[in-house]
Structure 1
Amino acid sequence: MAINIKRPNGTEDVLPKDVYKWHTVEKITRDTAESFGFSELRFPTFENTDLFLRSVGETTDVVQKEMYTVKAKETEFTLRPEGTAGAIRAMLQNGLLNEALPQKIFYIISCFRHERPQAGRLREFHQFGLEMAGSPAPTADAEVICLAKNILDRLGLKNIELHINSIGCPTCRAKYHEALKAFFEPHKDELCDTCKERLVKNPMRLLDCKSPEDREIAKDAPVILDYLCEECSEHFAKLKKYLDNAGIAYTVDPKIVRGLDYYTKTVFEFITTEIGAQGTVCGGGRYDGLIEQLGGQHTPALGFGMGIERLLLVMDKQNCDYLSPKKCDIYFASMGDAALEKAMELTRGLREYGYCAEYDLMGRGIKAQMKYANKIGAVYTVVLGDNELADGKAKLKEMESGKETEILLNDKFTSNFENEYFNKVLDVMDAEGSPMFAFTGEDK
């Protein structure tokens, strides 16, 4: 029978056989952020639409073409297209910025943009992101970039290039805007309709246009670094010095402007050429005016976002290592009702101590049960039948080696179960000096 209901275009299912890869990225990003003093923040999947209009910018592709907006009676909501706006809103609303600064938070979220789906670009995608609010110093920029580099290194990624730029502050950017308008005005009729509007409202957005024709025109456009004020120029120079001191290689790329309007001064991207056109695996920068723009006191801030799907694409391409997927520690194969009840009792006890233990739920024969145990990757198996119950003994079989060890099915079995999979030692003693595994000592 054909399946008529399928997942929406631009979304993906993460199957059980692959979820351990996601667990790897989530664990490493979370652990690394916490080692830098960041704490996790969770916030809603949707926000009032005005939040993104005010923060992301009305002239951006995100706002003009890509947001998913829903009207519920008189209220309008938008599924978050990125993480920074919602995170800052949550920090403001909950008073985090009134506490000790800098405030440092991270998040792992899903985001939504109506884009043309392709490798590394989905309509529902997932991000690891973080924000640091309170510090205007270039040391904070270096700290955030170091954190991102640390994550990429711990994931095992190679050949990832760091590109940095400064897009200045509102003061020096105003002069740059005038220079851009003067440059693009003679080419106005050649620009796409969107860029014609950008030329009036926000000419820096022309540098971010994806149209090949517009990109060709923009390649000779003025460079923002030539228009930086003294403060922005000094900030950028110090950032480069700190990255040099940390041994982090970078390329100054004047074409990086990022796709959102709230950025100021430092912007950066970590880029790979190994997954096609969507090669930015991490992007971020400073946004010193955003908090004030959203109703807070002037508070400098910065952050970045990493696309989890893109990280996984690169990790697969480079054959990076992942955390081992969780396996069944022990499977009890049973013959007969009494043995099945014993298997249920033993699994209950083991699960209380954190082990993954399973038994037959399908009424299979013993051969089929052992075949199933092999398929699920059970580390150990125990076969239970009338003889084992009568003798109070069973054979613990290590599936990989085939080694069998006779064990006693006594009270200590479930409460003190320890096996080679975790400890590599079979004769661990409990607090009273008794074997935690009740072995008879007979290895087969």
Structure 2
Amino acid sequence: MSHGAERVWSVTEHLDSILGQLAPLEAIELQLLDAQGCVLVEDVTVPVALPPFDNSSMDGYAVRVADTRAVSPEHPAVLEVVGDIAAGSGEPPTVGPGQAARIMTGAPLPPGAEAVVPVEWTDGGTGGGPATTMTAHSLDPAPAGGEVRVHRGPSLGQYIRTRGSDVAAGELALAAGTVLGPPQIALLAAVGRASVTVRPRPRVVVVSTGSELVQPGDTLGPGRIHDSNSFALTAAARAAGAIAYRVGAVVDEVETLRATIEDQLVRADIIVTTGGVSVGAYDVVKEALSSLGGAMYGADGQVGGDNGHVEFRKLAMQPGKPQGFGRIGPARIPLLALPGNPVSAYVSFELFVRPAIRTLMGVGPVHRDVVRAACVAAIDSSPEGRRQFLRGRYDPASRSVTPVGGAGSHLVAALANADALIVVPEEVTSLEAGADVDVIVLD
């Protein structure tokens, strides 16, 4: 492989060059809902036990086990109701021999009680047959001093949520490195945390380039196509865990593109462009990015110059041969320039942008899972010296993968029906049906 102006980079070299210049974002403190999707950077311990007190898991009656041990529908226990206990009650009455206290789900267990009898096992305190339901209103007819007939007795501790049965005080609730989803947010709230220290979700700005691009919903003119790349890449960035912003398609004008990117630097942790990275006469991305402020980093990670720019490279891969990467602006924001063909752009995102997002988040796995699978169909031709990525559908049950569509980098419909990438190594030009291949699982 040459190392001059015509150097061709391998996929691994290009990815290592990108990730070698990135580090996780600085941690910040966020309110709980703002921290959703972020990575926790602190261990969170439980200050008080959950639940913090013994409480009922049923609507019914808190009783002593001895008073209900030998009951039956024919011979119910008749217990004095000494009071009502609703959720949030502060001072429940004491339950003595021959007594019971009506209790609602979540209410604290009263002193003296050893179990809870579901209301369905009683007459509901009405003096009649077995009850079927119990609501806040059903508590009203039987005031303290009334009676309840219990037709079936509970075991010791039955239908009681004991203090600390979820987590005990001092236990580890969530470890650093946890990605905060809804259940984790719920646990943090339950243990009394209003805010947490996290690595923020990276802000990704996606810019499509090309004078031929039209906003979806607008009428197509001659030679025009709808902009799909910016939508695909913005959605992919969000799926990877980022906060993603889509910028409308920018026309092929150097000053317009440069100004657009400079305007986005203030809200970006990564900028992704798509289109204009090959050798066409109207590929203005190279020119526009060649003089943005900041510093450009080369393959060795050293600062290249005061007027930093993005380095454009040829990669030994298909699709996605032309790629660009650099650090731009005063804050040296990473910029990844991807090809404009839809499949090339998406494959490039999966291989290079998604790992960059995960690296900034400080969360693993950085890379997609790679599995070995049998390729159902033969692959007749793969370019020698290039790593080819074909779309496919992966069947985990049979450990097989079926190619979807052809090798064309414009086949959006085939991409939409794929959930994996079939990897054909650089030295392989064809594969027989049933041959084992590496498969990058996308979904």
TM-score band w.r.t. shorter chain: under 0.3
What is the TM-score of this pair, normalised by structure 1? 0.23
Q: Normalized per residue, which structure has more strand?
A: 2
What is the TM-score of this pair, normalised by structure 2? 0.23
- Larger Rg over CA atoms: 2
